[in-house]
Amino acid sequence: MSTTNVIGKSITRPDAYDKVTGGKKYPVNYTLPGMLHMKILRSPYPHAKILSIDTSEAEKLKGVRAVLTPDEVPKKYFTPVYFVPYNAPSMVQDFILLSDTVRWAGQPVVAVAASSEDIAEQALELIDVEYEELPTVFDPEEAMKDGAPQLHEASPNNIAKNPSFEFGDMEAGFEDADHIFEGVYETQRAHTCYMEPRVCVADSDTDGRITIHSSMQHTFGLREKLAVALDIPESMVNVVKPTYIGGGFGGKLDIGFIEGLAALLSLKTGKPVRAEHSRGEDFISTTRNPIKVYLKTGVKKDGTYTARQIKSILDCGAHATHGSEVIMVHGLYGTFFPWKCPNQIWEGFTVYTNNMIGGGYRGYGAPQGCFAVESQNDEICETLDLDPIEFRLKNTHREGDPHPVLEGHKLASYKIEECLRQGAERIGFDKRQAAGSAEGVKKKGIGFAVHPLWVSGCVGFPDIYEHSGATVKLNRDGTADVISACVDLGSGQISMLTAVVAEELSLSADKVRIVYADTDTAPFDAPTHASRATYSAGLATKAAAVETKKRLFKAAAAVMEANADDLVLEDGKVMVKGVPESAVPMTDIIARAESPFIQVGEQGPAPTTIAEKGTIIGTASQAPPSNPSPVGAQFIEVEVDTDTGEIEVLRVVYSADVGQVIHPNSAEGQVEGGFQQGMGYALMENLQFDQETGACLSADFLDYKIPTAMEMPSNIESIFIDSHEPTGPYGGKSMSEMCLIVPAAAIANAVYNAIGVRITELPITPEKVLKALGKL
Amino acid sequence: MALTSVQSFYSPEDSKAVIELLDKHEDSALIVAGGTFLHGLVSRGLLSGIEALINIQKLGLNKIDISSDAINIGATTLLGQLKNCPEVKEQAWLGAIKDAMEYPPTQIMNSGTVGGSISSSCPFFDFPVSLLALDGNVQAEGSSGSRDIPLEEFFAGLFENSLGSNEFVTGVRIPVPAGSTTSAFIKMETNANDLAIINVAVCLSMSGTGDCEQARVFLGGGVGESPVRSPSAESALVGTKVDEEAIEKAGEAVLNDLDPLSDHRASAEYRKAMGKVLLKRALASAMQRLS
Amino acid sequence: MKQIIELDINDEVHELAVEPYDSLLRTLRDKAGMQGTKKGCDSGGCGCCTVLVDGKAVYSCMTMVMSVEDKKITTVEGLPSEGELDPIQQAFIDAGAVQCGYCTCGIMMATKQLLTDNPKPTEEEIRKGISGNLCRCTGYQKIVEAIQLAAASY
């Protein structure tokens, strides 16, 4: 690849200065004069019928402007997930803003808008709701049984979805096996813990048009879902893209309740309405779905897979929402296709319970799958005394193989062997001791996990939006404006888009600005999710910059009296290729293109000469060409205190093929931050609920623990394998989710190596360790 | 969530004024200083009907007085002040306090006060357990004057204590032990900003010949509605050299006195087992400190 | 009932109408219009709201505004001096320690006290110094590096 201007060079993040001086542009800071504040009354019961609601006392409270009850909400059931159509056949349409049946403790019942937050909160206490309690079920396997309490009429036995895949001959496959391994692997609810709460300000025009600011991951998804929730045409909603948000990680990937309720209250009052979740509300609004995986694998003595049977039970809570897609991604990309096995069957169940609803979360079903498969792979290697690296390589795809899911595509960049070998070398894997052989109370162990198949977007998934678009505009001062609906979650989309445009237009990064965008003015872009922004939004934005350059060359050709095809752009100058003395500053060309038709010069008025008048602008809207797989392996050293069960992570090495790294500093940041979330998932994070009342027991950071700087290992080492994805922007692929798919399995395997006992249920708490050691 | 019932915020400058305000507002008044515990209660919806907040930070109680027979710590002394107190840093007998001050994050050290930590009567806090091991007293003032309450008699269940209706905590008093005394504290937590899953404080007074003359062993965290003492562990220690064998016996003995809670953070079974492990470690640490 | 108080924020006196139960955080954000201080949990668990009171880092969500009326408040807006970023701010940019940035201001304020008290902290001391602050994006590694970088110029 030729020398690049900014790609691969870690430009200073364009958003960093603003963020270190106070960060003005978070949605949480957005206010409008005269705006009202909304609060939500939530159900204390996990399953009940609402018999009556009396809001009369609340409405009398001074400062209360409007109250919204289930009667006033359009009776339209839809899918709230941003990245699929609201009525996508592959999803379940069971979601509504307010209902007269509550199915989880915390479900919104009434919304109040008042002149202050305090008054809105006081008003909630004056609302009288009469409930008839209904029987509850919290365990998905109980919920599937005949006679269990039913949550939704349309779903007998509470099964919202039941997809399956199969190929080969299962019977022959297991017969062919020398050994059969069976295990059950369970994962818990984990919260994304974005730091900025879900927040929005909805405003309505006199014609009923809504403008909304919100902390979310998808501008166009919010437009579509809000229009559906309000039962108005899509064009009656304008969503303003937040300049940046305070984290998302998948937790802001669906319209929750606040946007719809605030918009309805704005329509009702004619005032802007602001709503902000408390941290407690955030904790019960989105979660990684817990999945229980029954895994049976047949292998030959030499470690070759012969057959694999997988059953996955996903607890989606009271509404299917993401649960109907997470199960698919978990099945296809989390368990079924990453590994090469000739005979496989997978069956998934998305099951309703009276638990909180699930959400998106970085990795989307794959961490649960990886934990199961890689735990069992470790077990296979231990039992059959196989080299764990060679075992993985024997059963994974290799570079150049056909893509296991996308017909007609291949794994063009796929350096799995290098990932495994370089990671193993860095951690000193060949020196690891036999499992459980360490001496003393504190025992060290090394383990690893690899996830051999992931995505750079959603090409190939049914019903999922994928296209991206952008407009790039050159200004007379030599700067470029980029209009893109792609939201920066903090994971560096601003830097990435800036780098792509700077590279394409030969500008320094400080000449490129990602500017205001809303759904009225920007081309559609799918959400920032599914590790797709670099690949899909990056490619579309690059294409827009190419269009801009073409237009620049047309104008330049007229000014320079040259052939547009012969022109090149270097250091802000247009020149005929190979003729440096022909160089004209780009700013001159832009000025000429945008000048008045007749310009007054020293010799008086004269017509400008060029025909190519107008703004130098380019737009692209396109689907990405493929869905290349990033791949990564994580090696971990832990120390287990066998008296207390406490686990300390000492060292982390992550080696990955993400194609050409666009912004190395941000790429490392993804690995390091992904590990914080993965380590929390592995060791401590757990959204817990009272099994009788359904009340959340971990609704703040006192009870929902995530790693602080003290628990984190002092060094997380990233190795990026030299690689180039032919279909990617400048050879790049996406990477974010991979960093969180592998840690739990890698830590579990390291813990096994330390103590010689395997823990198959996350989180691996000190208590579980002691139990496993037989000390409790 | 805000405590919207509050109508008045007072910052009186002497205790007489505090007592008058407590008399005036009765149950609807609350003493505050750093505000950390108050906010914890409010954000969990555990507080209602409070109309007056009485800030005692202007009473001049933020000081540590050291005399030959006692250390007096004013109620509004910040945990951070206590941590930086030279005696706490250096004296083996104050080791339990030094250890307890290692856990909270900076922000809590700068807001949380000694008086608040005690009077909130929260069994999951650290400082009270270390103070129990050191046989501390609570100093309280009310309309009938001031009195010292042994800390052991002060706690009366979850968020409950033996303060009278118009009494408030003005400080704590720790008697300086005679002879060779050492103490230590250990807490089990999930991350560095956590309430104790379980915590243990020990204080050992050793004779010139290295025999344990007195032992005080207290446990907090999820062990009960108030911290608990372990007489069994104490008697297993007294008369010994607190060597490995004695420590092992004390570890076994403490189980007799533990009947902890099971909750979403840990089971009773685990807490009990950790009571033993942490006690052994605290004892070893206290002895290490002496040498 | 609202009361008028005077609050010294970043060496400027602000006259503000507050409720007797208002937190310093709410006062700063909603009444003084200083939004650099963030609300992340409003219960002393995340550290996004960290500010300095008389030079010491506190959770402003837990601090009653009426109790700091006579004290000096420093927020992120008060970090730069004479138009120049504080070395801590510059280091956070240079080390790439800012991702979503929502925790950043709180962590920089905790860092301000840390480096004022201890200009050459060890890595362990740095980690302890920011243990009252949560970050979900960075894994803290580049934050620790940024603080080391800032310490080099303190």
Q: Which residue in the set B105, B190, B277 is minimally distant from A684, CB to CB?
A: B190
B108 CA: distance to closest CA in chain C (Å): 7
Indicate whether B257 and B270 sit together in one domain.
yes
Instruction: Return the ∠ at Cα A173 (arms to A292 and A175), rounded to 5°.
Output: 110
> Mutation test of the interface with chain C: which of B21, B79, B106, B108, choosing the one with the most C Cβ atoms within 10 A?
B106
Which domains does chain A show, CATH number per domain? Answer: 16-22+467-622 (3.30.365.10), 31-134+191-283 (3.90.1170.50), 135-190+287-396 (3.30.365.10), 411-462+628-776 (3.30.365.10)
Residues on chain A bordering chain B, Cβ-to-Cβ distance under 8 angstroms:
117-118, 121-122, 278, 280, 643-644, 646, 684, 688, 697-698, 700-703, 705-711, 766-767, 770, 775-776
Q: Are residues B23 and B50 in the same domain?
A: yes
Output the average pLDDT for chain B: 96
Give yes or no for residue A606 having a pLDDT over 80.
no
Class of domain C3-78 (CATH, top level): alpha beta
DSSP letters, A333-364, are IIIISSB--SSEEEEEEEEE-SSPP----TTT
Mean pLDDT of chain A: 96
End residue of a domain, out of B158, B175, B192: B175
Spatial CB neighbours of A776, under 8 Å, sequence gap ≥ 6: A767, A770, B269, B270, B273
pLDDT value of position A3: 59
Please name the residue of chain A whose CA is at the shortest distance from the CA of residue B263: A697
Q: C 86-115 residues with CB below 8 A of A? A: 89-90, 92-94, 96, 98-105, 108
Rounded Cα gap, residues A62 and A65, in angstroms: 9
In chain A, DSSP finds a helix count (H) and a strand count (E) of 19, 29
Q: B45 and B22 in one domain?
A: yes
- How many other C-beta atoms lie within 10 A of the C-beta of residue B45? 9
Same domain, B135 and B218: no
Among B117, B145, B175, the domain boundary falls at: B175
Return the residue in B7, B39, B189, B191 with the most chain A beta carbons within 10 A, the one to mutate for interface testing.
Answer: B191
Q: Do B66 and B170 belong to one domain?
A: yes
**Are B84 and B168 found together in one domain?**
yes
Domain range for B268 is 180-290
Cβ–Cβ gap A714/C123 under 8 Å: yes
pLDDT digits (tens, 9 = 90+) for A710-729: 999 999 999 999 999 999 99
> Does residue C105 contact residue C88 with C-beta atoms inside 8 Å?
no
Q: Please answer yes or no on whether B273 and A775 come within 8 Å at the CB atom.
A: yes
Tell me the nearest-neighbour CA distance from C43 into chain B, angstroms. 6
Rg (CA), chain C: 15
CATH number at residue B36: 3.30.43
CA distances in angstroms from A498 to A17, A590, B230, C94, listed in the order given: 15, 20, 64, 17
For residue B166, is it within any domain?
yes
Q: Does C127 contact A at CB distance below 8 Å?
A: yes
Instruction: Tell me the per-residue pLDDT of A524-579, one tens digit each, with 9 for 90 and over.
Output: 999 999 999 999 999 999 999 999 999 999 999 988 999 999 999 998 999 999 99
pLDDT level of residue B168 (50, 70, 90 thresholds): very high
Asked if residue B3 belongs to a domain, the reply is: no
> What is the pLDDT averaged over residues A675-704?
96
What percentage of residues in chain A have a pLDDT greater than 70? 99
Of C21, C63, C113, the CB nearest to B3: C21
Question: Are B116 and B66 within one domain?
Answer: yes
Average pLDDT over residues C143-147: 98
pLDDT of residue A595: 86
Concatenated DSSP letters for A578-593? Answer: TEEEEEEEHHHHHHHH
Q: Per residue in A66-85, pLDDT tens?
A: 999 999 999 999 999 999 99
CB < 8 Å to C45, chain B: 193
C112 in contact with chain B, both atoms CB, cutoff 8 A:
no
* CATH number assigned to the domain comprising residue B275: 3.30.390.50
Q: Are residues B190 and B273 in the same domain?
A: yes
Shared domain for B243 and B166, answered yes or no, is no
Measure CB to CB from residue A122 to each of B4, B44, B263 and give the nearest one.
B4
Chains touching C, CB cut-off 8 Å, 3+ pairs: A, B
Tell me the per-residue pLDDT of B180-216, one tens digit each, with 9 for 90 and over.
Answer: 999 999 999 999 999 999 999 999 999 999 999 999 9
Among A643, A708, A767, the residue with its CB nearest the CB of B192 is: A708
**Mean pLDDT within A18-23:** 97
Residue B273 · residue A768 · CB < 8 Å: no
Residue C100 has its nearest CB partner, among A17, A246, A665, at: A246
pLDDT digit string, tens, across residues B97-112: 999 999 999 999 999 9
* Best of B107, B122, B186, B190 to mutate (most A CBs within 10 Å, chain A): B190
* B165 or A35, higher pLDDT: A35
Are B55 and C110 inside 8 Å of each other by CB?
Answer: no
Structure confidence at residue A2 (pLDDT):
44
Chain B residues interacting with chain C (CB cutoff of 8 angstroms): 1-4, 6-9, 11, 32-36, 38-40, 43-44, 53, 55, 57, 80, 104-108, 110-111, 192-193
Contact at 8 Å (CB) between C129 and C114? yes
User: What would the pLDDT profile of A238-254 be if each residue is shown by its tens digit?
Assistant: 999 999 999 999 999 99
Residue C58: which of B8, B11, B111 has the nearest Cβ? B111
In sequence order, what are the residues at sequence separation of 6 or more whose Cβ sits closer than 8 angstroms to the Cβ of residue A631? A414, A415, A416, A419, A450, A451, A452, A453, A454, A656, A657, A738
- Residue in B8, B32, B106 nearest the CB of C64: B32
Residue B189 counted as domain residue: yes
Confidence label for A1 from pLDDT (cuts 50, 70 and 90): very low
CATH 1.10.150.120 intervals, chain C: 87-152
Report DSSP letters for C125-142, one per residue. Answer: HHHHHTTT---SSSTTHH
Average pLDDT over residues A145-154: 97
Q: What is the dihedral of CA A112, A113, A119, A120, to 10 degrees?
A: 40
Residue B40 within any structural domain of the chain: yes
Confidence label for A609 from pLDDT (cuts 50, 70 and 90): low
- Note whether residue B2 is domain-resident: no
> What is the predicted pLDDT for the residue at C116?
97
Q: What's the domain count of chain B?
A: 3
Answer with the one of B114, B148, B175 that is the final residue of a domain: B175
CATH code of the domain occupying C87-152 = 1.10.150.120
Is the bond into A523 cis (omega within 30 degrees of 0)?
no
Q: What pLDDT, on a 0 to 100 scale, did the predictor assign at position A603?
A: 84
Mean pLDDT of B30-59: 90
| Contact between C19 and B6 using a beta-carbon 8 Å cutoff | yes
Three-state SS for A669? Answer: helix
**pTM for the full model?**
0.97
CB neighbours (10 Å) of residue A400?
10
Shared domain check, B205 and B283: yes
* Least Cα separation, residue A709 to chain B (angstroms): 8
Contacts of B3 in chain C (CB under 8 A): 21
| Inter-chain residue contact C101 with A675, CB threshold 8 Å | no
Same-domain pairing of B171 and B74: yes
